[in-house]
Amino acid sequence: MNLLNLSYFKAADFEEIFQLADNFFIAESNSYKQDPILADKKLLNLFFEPSTRTKLSFEVAASNLGMTIFNLDEISSSLTKGESLEDTIEVASNIGIDACVIRHKDSVIHDLADRFPDMVFINAGESSVAHPSQALLDLFTIRQSFDDLSKLSYLVVGDLDHSRVLASFLEGLSIVGAEKISLCSPAELGKRYSDHPNFEEDLNSALVGKDVVMALRIQHERLDSALSISGEEYISKFQLNHRRLLDAIGGDQFILMHPGPVNYGIELHSDVRNQAYCKINNQVRNGVGIRMAILTKALLS
With contacts defined by CB under 6 A, name the span among 52-60, 69-77, 215-223, 263-271 that binds ligand CP.
52-60
* Among 260, 268, 292, 295, contact with ligand CP (rule: CB under 6 A): 260
Residues 136-175: x where in contact with ligand CP by CB under 6 A, - otherwise, as a string: ----------------------------------------
* Among 42, 53, 269, 273, contact with ligand CP (rule: CB under 6 A): 53
Q: Does 51 bind ligand CP (CB under 6 A)?
A: yes
Q: How far apart are CA 214 and CA 226, in angstroms?
A: 24
Residues 123-142: x where in contact with ligand CP by CB under 6 A, - otherwise, as a string: --x--------x--------
* Residue 57 CB partners (closer than 8 Å, separation 6+): 284, 287, 288, 291
The letter for the amino acid at 188 is E
With contacts defined by CB under 6 A, name the span among 4-12, 14-22, 51-59, 154-162 that binds ligand CP.
51-59
- Taking the complex as a whole, how short is the minimal distance between the CB of residue 137 and ligand CP, in angstroms? 9
Considering only residues 172 to 231 of the shown chain, the ones binding ligand CP according to CB under 6 A are none
**DSSP state letter for 34:** -
Nearest to 272 by CA among 201, 189, 215, 210: 215
Q: How far apart are CA 152 and CA 199, in angstroms?
A: 17
- Taking the complex as a whole, how short is the minimal distance between the CB of residue 124 and ligand CP, in angstroms? 7
| 3-state secondary structure (DSSP) of residue 49 | coil
Strand 31-32 and strand 25-26: the pairing is: antiparallel
With contacts defined by CB under 6 A, name the span among 19-27, 47-55, 86-94, 231-239 that binds ligand CP.
47-55
Find the residue with minimal CB distance to ligand CP: 54
Number of residues that bind ligand CP (CB under 6 A): 9
Nearest to 170 by CA among 204, 212, 202, 200: 212
Burial track 72-88 (b if 16+ CB lie within 10 A, e otherwise): beeeeeebeeeeebeeb
Ramachandran angles phi, psi of 154, nearest 5°: -115, 145
Residue numbers at the binding site for ligand CP (CB under 6 A): 51-54, 125, 134, 259-261
